[in-house]
Structure 1
Amino acid sequence: MKKMHLLAVGMLLTASSVSTWAQAVKSDRGVYIGFEGGIGSYHIGGEDASSSENYTDSRNASALRALIGYRFSPNFSVEAGYLSLGSYKRELIHGNHRWNLKADTDAFDLSIVYKFTQFVPGLYVKGGLMNSKVSIQTVGEGPGRNRSTRDSSRSGNGYLLGLGYEYDLTPNWSANAGFTRLQRIGGSWEDGVSVDANLYSAGLKYRF
């Protein structure tokens, strides 16, 4: 009877070990999904300051990103994401005229992620391509409260580079925080103007 008890305990321990090993293997590769939120800061380069001598702007915006990826190994993965970057706003006053501009960005990206397992376990770097669309609304007000609204958009390709840290909470769940540089938002603009952004984010991932 005692031998039967020992055999049963041994079988339970073996099953538990196999299950734990299977979970560990499962977490090394496979599909994962995630969600990130944070703050983005727009950077406008190549502007002629003399043509916009009296303006104020708000360049910080909220950011949300949903992603799906595939982990080929503990180090390498490929992921695709959709990013919604909140409004960049500018108010320009010239004489009796006032213009209010608001721009929102939607972007799709495809990135390669390398996660360190030796140097600083959890540290990762990533790089990829993105296609982004900037939707612009300009509202002008003149003498006599004359008001006009103009909507436009611009799309184009750019790229991104990122650095962050990911911590495994369980074999399936992980939390991450990182910095991403978005280059050439909306593609190429007229007059040599460039639109870039810095994104600071944190999020969760679930590995199947």
Structure 2
Amino acid sequence: MNEYIVELADVHRHVSRESSDAGELVRVTLRRPFAAETHDLWHAVTDPDLISRWFMPISGDFREGGHFDLQGNAGGDIEQCDPPRTFRVTFGDASSVVTVTMHELAGDRTELVLDHTVPVTVAGSTAGALYVGPGWDGALVGLARFIDGRAEGDPVQAINSPKMIQFSRQSVALWADAAAMGGASAQEVETARQVALAQFAPDPALGN
């Protein structure tokens, strides 16, 4: 059994289009409960030393108004930081915005809600969720395993392991369903699905 794939069921995924002052947006939302008190989960997702243990190395000025860079990935500006409840950052581009919010649950658990919005002109349609959703799925499973004390080795290297490639392929399938539910056409979904497989599960032996 692939223990990573099992954890995909712990995430609720939603994709929608909405209007804003900046124009029409595509919103990608992930909700997942964690076995951690809110302040502990907040520490795990905002402390650069801890982030490197479940996600990837990060550097920058970690305060509201500061800038961060993820090694080999996107950087951005920290637009809002209200510990231990919510933060908002740009991600790769000023029009790409990620907001993380935490809600206390019973039994010393916390629900993390991640919203990623991009303009429709960039995403194309709700199928654009496939370009970011599987990556966030991978990040959240890494965070959950870190919180539970199950993290193993370098998380960056783990992304290319056979189990994580299988995980990513299943994640792509789930995001394809969510994009279709959000209004994307079958052709839009299939085109984005092929791109996402090449991006998140680039194993020729598995076939994209």
Structure with greater helix percent: 2
Structure with greater strand percent: 1
Q: TM-score, normalised by structure 2?
A: 0.28
Which has the greater radius of gyration? 1
Q: TM-score, normalised by structure 1?
A: 0.28
